[in-house]
A and B are shown apart, each in its own frame.
Chain A
Amino acid sequence: MNRKKKKLLLGVEFGVFTFPALGFVLFATIIPFIMNLYYSVFEWNGISQEKTFVGLQNFAKIFTNDALFLQSSIFTLRFSVFFVIIVNVLAIAIAIPLAKDKRVTRVGRAFYYVPYIISLTAISLIWKFIFGPGFEALFKLTDWNFFGWSWIGTPNLAFYVVIIMTVWQNVGFYVVIYVAGMIAVPRDVMEASQIDGAGKWQAFRKITLPLIMPSISICILTSLTFAFKLFDVIMVFTKGGPANSTVSVAYNIYKEAFTNSSYGLATAKSLVFFVVVLMITLIQLRVTKSKEVEA
């Protein structure tokens, strides 16, 4: 009797602690997403009172007759690989010298964070000018072909434009997390290793990196999910161009829902996309969790 009561109490306790958060998440995302399941088997323009039931037709279309969706998936995957690697390596590199707490480093951290705070419409205005008149001026100055190419107007180069803009805008966020992780690395461990004769790079690899695994885990997951969900930069700046070369999956889904007025198809795509992302992130989580070191 006592054990049962204890278990019940534990369960209630668990519920009290976790239910508020769970409730909010159900409300804001999970239930709407389940509603997507419902809409995905219809053909609906998002406005009309009428919907036509089409069963799995939307899903069939995605896999057989949607070249753009495939193209956007490849773009998103490619972008994710580049972005996750570049932004994390860069953020760690920047975080190392900034991980001490002095006025200089605090200012430095704020600087890197600035783009993250500024509205994206202003950011895209700036990049428009950098890639446009800015590069032109640099071209005249240096005569390097690099500046003479049409960065935004060429499909292959536009990809790098998106990488540059997103890395630049988001690195500050990851720097903050890495700095928090690095500061928590106990000083005495680092000093002990130096006394034992370890070089800087060795100390970093064998001590710092493993101990900041929680930060790495967080950053890789957030950068990965950000990359998969890439939308804002496309929407505000490249608009998927040129010639649909920078369309991300999220952008494709958005266009499908609002420009093509095919909400059923859009929700079907979002479900397919979700399943794929889920699989990838579960794998990633398992990999990084296994490398974490408990304090």
Chain B
Amino acid sequence: MKRRVLASMLSVVLSVGLLAGCGGDSGSTGSDSSSGSSDKDVKLSVFDAKAYGTEEFDAILADYGEKNGLSIEVQHSPNDYDALVMSRFNSDDIPDILALQVGSSAQQYYEYAYDWSDDTEVLELFNEDAIATGKDADGNVMSLPGTYETMGLLYNKDLFEQAGITELPATISEMEAVCEKLTAAGITPFAVAGKELWVLHQLASNFMMDKSLEAQGVADQLNSGELTFEELPNYKNLFPFLDLVIKYGSEKQLEYDWETSENMLANGEAAMIQMGDWCQATMDEFNPDANLGFIPCPVSENPEDATLLSSVSWTYIVNKDSEHLEEAKELLTFMLTSDEMLDWMCNVIGNVPAAQGEFEVKGDLANEAAGYISAGKTNGWIHTLAPTGFQDEAGAAYQNYMLGNASAEETTKLIQELWNE
């Protein structure tokens, strides 16, 4: 009995050893791009959160690695991003290049980041406002911008045409009128992804905007206490707007996640959702014939106040303690400004790059947004400047309001407390 057990255990170990040998070096998974021969000294690791276009991205980087004698290891990790980044930092496995959400999220990592403030040649390759998003509290440029993303109310142009709507609503009463027309034509006006806390938070940020202060100004004044949510000019209009969303959308909007919400818009089951141009790829998969566009969100009775929010979304830091700092810096510059990568940004993932230049982007939404941006009709993102953890709690508070469990005043008070924490 004993001998048999030993024998079988031995055979298991042997076969596993063989397997291990087999599985060792064969090819690579979709998101692995360790390239080149094994005698390259310089290894760089890139930690990214992109969900689309990863194959092309990896291919371009592998190519660059070959040409420059580097071995580049890329990890794409869209899911549970925060937890994974945090665990890598705690495992002392800090990546050389790291993609971060712009704003308070990125700020947390700046103490590990290389300061680009003196690298003027590199900084000149980008738009000024884009560079501004990567600055820390003291004005040093700690991270470099990737691409712009625009968010707001997305609408289905065909449905609007069907309902006979010719002008986009710019005030809240005009919005109500539009909803009436849609309902009369048998179309569900709203399908907001109420299950997603970040969607509600982003929607609310339209109403937090004060165009005279711009995003940073609003955030700064909220932080210092000069401004409160009650005093924000259009914040109180968020609640009647949410009432509209409930009234003119299905009651089940609190069940909709982003997938359901986007799917309904693409398939003509609803006319408006809150989302951004990052969903273009998904929309194309759902319905390549859908005609989608942006409505600057009406936030008051003044049409001038309608907001469309656009900003650099992902920003990249270089580990200042990297073993190969110069190569890492060059790699990042390549990633954000080279022709191949710019082409990738425009045509593969369909986002406007933050680098200087005129770009033609694949995707109706991004192109429409580009129009608004160059006309100066957009504002920056406040939601990323909120304190860490604010987003989810605020989203929950809005859900509570939408369920009818809290009044507008109670919610505003709660939001204020959450921001102050």
**What residues of chain A have their CB less than 8 Å away from a CB belonging to chain B?**
45-50, 68, 128, 131-132, 150-155, 239-244, 254-255, 257-262
Contacts and interface: CB of A to CB of B under 8 A. Distances in A.
Nearest to A155: B403
A259 B389 contact: yes
12 contacts: A47-B89, A47-B112, A131-B255, A152-B255, A241-B195, A242-B194, A242-B399, A243-B399, A243-B405, A244-B396, A255-B392, A259-B389
B82 A239 contact: no
B15 interface: no
Interface of B: 82-83, 85-86, 89-90, 108-109, 111-112, 194-197, 251-255, 257, 260, 388-389, 391-393, 396-397, 399-400, 403, 405
B250 to A, nearest CB: 9
Given A132-B260, A153-B253, A259-B82, A242 B392 contact: no
A243 B195 CA distance: 9
Given A152-B195, A258-B82, A241 B111 contact: no
Given A255-B392, A258-B86, A260-B388, A150 B251 contact: yes
A64 to B, nearest CB: 14
Contacts of B82: 258-259
Contacts of B389: 255, 259-262
A152 B393 CA distance: 18
Nearest to B253: A153
Contacts of A45: 108, 388
B89 A152 contact: no
Given A155-B403, A240-B396, A49 B111 contact: yes
B199 to A, nearest CB: 12
A128 B255 CA distance: 9
Given A240-B396, A244-B396, A46 B403 contact: no
B400 A243 contact: yes
B111 A242 contact: no
B108 A48 contact: yes
B252 A153 contact: yes
B260 A241 contact: no
Contact of A259 (B388, B400, B405): B388
Contacts of B85: 47
A260 B255 CA distance: 24
Contacts of A68: 393
A153 B194 contact: yes
Contact of B252 (A49, A150, A240): A150
Given A132-B260, A153-B255, A241-B399, 10 more contacts: A45-B388, A46-B89, A46-B90, A150-B254, A153-B253, A239-B197, A257-B86, A259-B391, A259-B392, A262-B389
A153 B255 CA distance: 5
B399 A261 contact: no
A150 B397 CA distance: 19
B396 A258 contact: no
A128 B399 CA distance: 19
B111 A132 contact: no
Contacts of A50: 111
A234 to B, nearest CB: 13
A45 B195 CA distance: 27
A243 B403 contact: yes
A123 to B, nearest CB: 15
Nearest to B89: A47
B71 to A, nearest CB: 27
Which of A151, A243, A258 has the largest count of B CB atoms less than 10 A from its CB? A243
Contact of B403 (A48, A128, A242, A254): A242
5 interchain residue pairs of minimum CB distance: A260-B389, A153-B254, A243-B399, A243-B400, A153-B255
A132 B255 contact: yes
Nearest to B195: A241
Q: Which of A151, A259, A262 has the most CB of B within 10 A?
A: A259
Nearest to B401: A243
A68 B400 CA distance: 14
Given A49-B111, A259-B389, A261-B388, A241 B251 contact: no
Contacts of B90: 46
Contacts of B396: 240-241, 243-244
A255 B390 CA distance: 11
Contact of A239 (B86, B195, B252, B388): B195
B255 A150 contact: yes
A244 B418 CA distance: 14
Contacts of A47: 85-86, 89, 108-109, 112
Contacts of B400: 243-244
A241 B108 contact: no
A254 B50 CA distance: 23
Nearest to B105: A261
Residue of B82, B112, B391 with highest tally of chain A CB at under 10 A? B82
A241 B405 CA distance: 14
Contacts of A152: 195, 254-255
B388 A241 contact: no
A67 to B, nearest CB: 10
Contacts of B397: 243
Given A242-B403, A259-B388, A48 B111 contact: yes
Contacts of A262: 389
A185 to B, nearest CB: 27
Nearest to B259: A128
A258 B83 contact: yes
Contacts of B86: 46-47, 257-258
A48 B90 CA distance: 10
A187 B333 CA distance: 76
A160 to B, nearest CB: 14
